[in-house]
């Protein structure tokens, strides 16, 4: 592949920058910095602005109402948005559910749900994992039994990100327990306001509320909410999880952390010397930057492969996930270290107005500790590193 800069991509970046300069409201600027996900209100407002520009679905093909951007353009768009701290989007809907609906939904389902994703009117959560069914997802036990025009759903989901803020959930359920595990799974959509759905928060190590348990007790879901046919759940899940390999490393997160680390290296001093003048620190910084450069190139390679529909994109996507998430952890650990003795202070999330106590390094330290703790989970969510290594071995070495 050609690593020469693409002048077309530079022009595209300029267009995105100009749009952000003009249309990202001042009060939303920086709100995405140091945050895993923006507030419901910010996500919806930003989504409306993007949609008005025709960019409501940046990751989808034109025939599905998307921008039709190349993978490279999508990466560039994400990076530019992250640089100015634009609010995050509803990535579960944009990157996982939307493409699956575009491929498998009936016309009625598409009309009902897709436009509402693009306008930001309806936010989603993903109800796949269960206690005892994470990496081994096919072992899931939540059942859906037919009752006339409805399914009666019973079971429990866990680690359901942002279920407490979602309007709807896409669920994997078992509709047949007499066949092979994978063949008995179906994919259904449910309104979170349906009686029988109960959400219980799980506070994670960063002290924030991202995760939940979702209990389903005799929940009546219309059969018209089944996507594809009964037993198609596994096929849809494989499609959905295999999407967007090039995004697996979360490049905007890596770039944002690197920029912040460099800023601290210049602004922090120890014993009268700036951090950057410390040989050990400077060497580590250089190593991390070299790693980041390698990951950026790898992401470009995967993007090119995805464009050509190469099967190798799958294995390389897994490599990118492993390397990218490990670098997220290293960078955030170095950020805490760069704060020195102040690093031990648990800084609140950025923009958290609840904490009125002034903390040391309030400006430069805000959000760093929470992000370092949150990124411990990066090597687990989206497929644990051990499982990714299994995929790489299987694909490349036929093990």
Which residue numbers are catalytic? 244
CB of 206 to ligand FAD, least distance (A): 10
Whether 239 contacts 100, CB under 8 Å: yes
C-beta of 112: minimal distance to ligand FAD in Å? Answer: 22
With respect to ligand FAD, which residue has the nearer C-beta, 150 or 164?
A: 164
* Nearer CB in complex with ligand FAD: 359/380: 380
Instruction: Tell the smallest beta-carbon distance from residue 130 to ligand FAD (Å).
Output: 8
**Min CB(383)–ligand FAD separation in Å:** 6
- For residues 249 and 243, the answer to whether their CB atoms sit within 8 Å is no
CB of 381 to ligand FAD, least distance (A): 4
- Give the residue with the Cβ less far from ligand FAD, 93 or 331: 93
Backbone angles phi, psi at 310, to 5 degrees: -75, 135
Rounded distance between C-alpha atoms, residue 232 and residue 94, angstroms: 21
Which CA distances in Å does 132 have to 135, 188, 218, 261, 371? 9, 20, 21, 38, 27
State the minimum distance, in angstroms, from the CB of residue 158 to ligand FAD.
7
**Closer residue to ligand FAD (CB): 73 or 160:** 160
Q: Closer to ligand FAD at the Cβ: 67 or 388?
A: 388
When the beta carbons of 60 and 128 are compared against ligand FAD, the nearer one is: 128
Query: Shortest approach of ligand FAD to residue 365 CB, angstroms?
Result: 23
Dist. CA 9–CA 68, nearest whole Å: 14
Residue facing ligand FAD at closest CB distance: 134
And the tokens for 103?
């491929």
Whole-angstrom Cα distance, residue 59 to residue 95? 7
**Cα–Cα dist 1/314, whole Å:** 17
Supply the DSSP string of 135-204, one letter for each residue: SSGGG---EEEEETTEEEEEEEEES-TTGGG-SEEEEEEES-SSS-GGGGEEEEEEETTSTTEEEEEE--
CA distance 65 to 67: 7
Chain centroid, CA 222 distance in Å: 29
**Dist CA 378 CA 399 (whole Å):** 26
**Which residue's CB is nearer to ligand FAD, number 139 or number 259?**
139
Nearer to ligand FAD, 20 or 384 (CB): 384
Which positions lie near ligand FAD, rule CB under 6 A? 126-129, 134-135, 159-161, 210-211, 377, 380-381, 384, 386-387, 390
How far apart (Å, rounded) are the C-alpha atoms in residues 18 and 11? 11
User: Could you tell me the smallest distance in angstroms from the CB atom of residue 312 to ligand FAD?
Assistant: 21
Give the CA radius of gyration of the chain. 22
Task: Tell the residue number behind the tokens 């093909």, with chain if given.
Answer: 61
**CA angle at 187 for the pair 181 and 192, rounded to the nearest 5°:** 125
At 204, list the tokens. Answer: 């994670």
Three-class DSSP category at 218:
strand
């Amino acid at each position: 592949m050609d690593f020469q800069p693409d002048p077309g991509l530079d022009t595209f970046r300029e267009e995105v920058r100009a749009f952000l300069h003009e249309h990202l409201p001042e009060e939303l600027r920086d709100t995405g910095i140091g945050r895993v996900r923006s507030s419901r209100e910010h996500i919806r407002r930003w989504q409306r602005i993007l949609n008005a520009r025709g960019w409501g679905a940046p990751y989808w093909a034109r025939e599905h109402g998307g921008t039709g951007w190349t993978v490279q353009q999508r990466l560039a768009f994400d990076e530019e948005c992250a640089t100015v701290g634009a609010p995050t989007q509803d990535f579960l809907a944009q990157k996982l559910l939307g493409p699956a609906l575009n491929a498998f939904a009936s016309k009625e389902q598409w009309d009902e749900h897709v436009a509402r994703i693009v306008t930001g009117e309806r936010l989603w959560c993903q109800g796949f994992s269960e206690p005892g069914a994470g990496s081994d997802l096919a072992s899931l036990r939540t059942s859906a039994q037919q009752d006339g025009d409805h399914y009666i759903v019973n079971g429990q989901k866990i680690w359901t990100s942002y279920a407490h803020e979602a309007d709807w959930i896409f669920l994997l359920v078992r509709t047949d327990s007499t066949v092979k595990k994978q063949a008995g799974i179906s994919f259904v959509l449910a309104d979170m306001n349906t009686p029988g759905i109960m959400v219980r928060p799980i506070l994670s190590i960063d002290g924030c509320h991202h995760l939940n348990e979702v209990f389903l007790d005799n929940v009546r879901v219309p059969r018209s909410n089944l996507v594809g046919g009964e037993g198609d759940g596994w096929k849809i899940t494989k499609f959905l999880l295999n999407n967007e390999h090039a995004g697996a490393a979360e490049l905007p997160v890596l770039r944002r952390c690197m920029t912040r680390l460099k800023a601290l290296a210049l602004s922090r001093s120890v014993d009268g010397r700036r951090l950057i003048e410390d040989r050990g620190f400077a060497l580590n910084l250089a190593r991390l930057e070299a790693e980041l450069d390698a990951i950026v190139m790898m992401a470009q390679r995967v993007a090119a492969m995805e464009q050509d529909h190469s099967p190798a994109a799958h294995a390389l996507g897994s490599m990118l996930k492993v390397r990218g998430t490990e670098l997220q952890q290293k960078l955030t650990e170095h950020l805490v270290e760069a704060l020195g003795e102040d690093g031990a202070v648990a800084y609140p999330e950025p923009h958290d107005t609840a904490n009125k106590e002034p903390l040391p390094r309030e400006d430069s330290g805000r959000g760093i500790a929470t992000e370092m703790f949150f990124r411990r989970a990066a090597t687990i969510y989206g497929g644990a590193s051990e499982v990714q290594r299994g995929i790489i071995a299987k694909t490349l070495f036929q093990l």
